[in-house]
Structure 1
Amino acid sequence: MTTVYRSAEGAEAVRRGYDALLGRWPVSFESRTLETRLGDTFAVVSGPEGAPPVVALQGSGGTAAHWLPDIATLAENLRVYAVDAPGEPGRTVEARPPLGSPAYAEWLDDVLDALDLPGAAFLGASLGGWWALDHALRRPGRVTALVLVNPAGIGRRRVAPLLKFGAYSLFGAWGRRRSLAMVAKGGPADPGRRAVGEFTLATFEHFKPRLEPIPVVPVERLRALTMPVQAHFGAHDVLLDQRDAAAKLRQALPDADVRLAEDAGHFLPGWAGTAAEFLRGEAS
């Protein structure tokens, strides 16, 4: 059986770290295992019952637990369904269909059906932003609003940092810390973000990331988005050219709320309150 982990022991270590983060969850939550055509999908559900629903998707190497620093803000007046994506660390099936296929939109259809949601707002970060964007383009009737946080698949991918990461990987734990500092533009500051950063470092000791290129959505295709859109970009994202992404999205969707933080990198702080206000407003 193909696995996304380097060893069974590594998989168990990641799951222990995941459970430790959930043990620090600042709001009450319930765990759900959802049946989908790809296999079981794990979700962490927070926020008031009956509040506007939001499906939250993390990026590559991430889990639902990566929303720890922002979940208290998001779940105050929203019902947040933080979902582990297939083929990523966490407790969801390890299947990895091609990114350009309809398989992920079909998987998210099944997630919504299992949650008894005809539609929901979608919140996606990094590769999770690409999954949310892909679903919004393929299933516009099921996505009521869209919030993207440093999404992949809009701006150009940067190649030089990947070469540096490859070099740093030869230096063990020091190299992984150096790579994280590059991505986080100085490193996480508050305790929640530090905990997530440390978990991410530990995860990549054991996890085999995707090597498949991420499809880029052209401006003409972005114009097909019909739902309200808010997007947050970090100008110093070392992985993605987010200045390019912000310009493309503004060109495609002049009415979208597009924000470019000049002092931020790929791990983008400070967006959650604005996003929660946007999503509450669109649901009212």
Structure 2
Amino acid sequence: MSTIYRTEEGGRAVRQRYDALLDRWPVPHEPRTLSTQLGDTFAVVSGPVDAPPVVALQGSGGTAAHWLPDIATLAGSLRVYAVDAPGEPGRTVEARPPLGSAAYAEWLDDVLDALELPRAAFLGTSLGGWWALDHALRRPERVAALALVNPAGIGRRRVAPLLKFAGYRLFGGWGRRRSLAMVANGSPAGPEQREVGEFTLATFEHFKPRLEAVPEFPVERLHELVMPVQAHFGARDVLLDQRDAAAKLRQALPDADVRLAEDAGHFLPGWAAAVAEFLGGRS
């Protein structure tokens, strides 16, 4: 049977480290396993029961643990459902339907149904932002608002760094650290960010990332978004041309709250308080 890990032993190592991080979740929380058509989906639920619901989606190679640096801020005023995506590390089914298909929107329909949420706001970062956008365009009636943090699928994908990453893979641990430093691109990191970064390095030692190109949303499609949108972009993102992304989103949605941080890379700091305020009055 195919697997998203290079070896079974490596998969166990990633899951053990993941569980150790979840044990240090800084706010009261409940782990949930949700039944979907794709298979079991794992989620960590935090925040006041009566607060506005938000489904949080991480990017490629990410898990719910990647929200650790920001969950205390988010869960102060939001009911946050941090979901492990299919085909990514964590404890959700390893299925990887094509990104251009309706499968992920149908999966998120099942997630909302399992959580007994007719609709919710969505928070997505990187590839998680693509999933959030895709669902918002396919199921606008189920998306109360969108908060995006360096989302994929809007700005042009940068090819040169991917070639460098492929070369760095030949140099083992040093290469992985160099790749992570490139992606961070000078973004400040506190203890929790560094811990999550170390987990990411350990994950990619064993994890096989998707090779499929992420489909881009043209301006005409983005114009179809009918819900409130807040988006945060890092101008120094080495993976995606986020200046291009910010310009496209402003063109498509003149009323959207679009923010471009000139000194930030793909790991964008300082967005959580603004997102919590933006989503706090929506349900």
**Same-fold call, TM > 0.5?**
yes
Aligned residue type for 1:154: I
SS at match of 2:251: helix
Q: Retained in 2: the 8 A contact 1:188–1:194?
A: no
Q: Aligned equivalents of 1:10 and 1:3: distance in 2?
A: 11
Q: Aligned equivalents of 2:111 and 2:50: distance in 1?
A: 18
Give the match for residue 86 of structure 2: 86
Give the match for residue 149 of structure 1: 149
Give the match for residue 69 of structure 2: 69
User: Equivalences for 1:57-206 in 2 at 5 Å?
Assistant: 57-186=57-186, 189-206=189-206
Q: Retained in 1: the 8 A contact 2:52–2:282?
A: no
Q: Aligned equivalents of 2:81 and 2:281: distance in 1?
A: 19
Q: Aligned equivalents of 2:186 and 2:262: distance in 1?
A: 14
Q: Aligned equivalents of 2:183 and 2:163: distance in 1?
A: 13
Q: Does 1:233 align with 2:233?
A: yes
Aligned residue type for 1:21: L
Q: Retained in 1: the 8 A contact 2:187–2:265?
A: no
Cα shift at 1:139: 0.2
User: Equivalences for 1:204-223 in 2 at 5 Å?
Assistant: 204-223=204-223
Q: TM-score, normalised by structure 1?
A: 0.99
Aligned residue type for 2:234: G
Q: Aligned equivalents of 2:214 and 2:168: distance in 1?
A: 23
Q: Retained in 2: the 8 A contact 1:228–1:282?
A: no
SS at match of 1:282: coil
Q: Retained in 1: the 8 A contact 2:54–2:79?
A: yes
Cα shift at 1:188: 5.4
Q: Does 1:24 align with 2:24?
A: yes
Q: Aligned equivalents of 1:261 and 1:20: distance in 2?
A: 33
Give the match for residue 266 of structure 1: 266
Q: Aligned equivalents of 2:219 and 2:140: distance in 1?
A: 17
Aligned residue type for 1:159: V
Give the match for residue 52 of structure 2: 52
Cα shift at 1:20: 1.4
Aligned residue type for 1:250: R
SS at match of 1:259: strand
Aligned residue type for 1:146: L
Q: Retained in 1: the 8 A contact 2:187–2:269?
A: no
Q: Does 1:253 align with 2:253?
A: yes
Q: CA RMSD in A?
A: 0.7
Q: Does 1:40 align with 2:21?
A: no
Q: Aligned equivalents of 1:180 and 1:221: distance in 2?
A: 32
Q: Deviations over 1:63-115 (max 9, x none)?
A: 01100000000000100000000000000000000000000000000000000
Structure-2 change in CA distance of 1:145 and 1:278 (3 Å): same
Q: Aligned equivalents of 1:281 and 1:77: distance in 2?
A: 9
Cα shift at 1:187: 5.9
Q: Deviations over 1:246-274 (max 9, x none)?
A: 00000000000000000000000100000
Tell me the number of residue pairs that the alignment of Structure 1 and Structure 2 aligns.
Answer: 283
Q: Retained in 1: the 8 A contact 2:58–2:85?
A: yes
Q: Aligned equivalents of 2:167 and 2:154: distance in 1?
A: 27
Q: Aligned equivalents of 2:177 and 2:3: distance in 1?
A: 25
Aligned residue type for 2:34: L
Q: Retained in 2: the 8 A contact 1:181–1:187?
A: no
Aligned residue type for 2:146: L
The sequence identity of aligned pairs, in percent, is 83
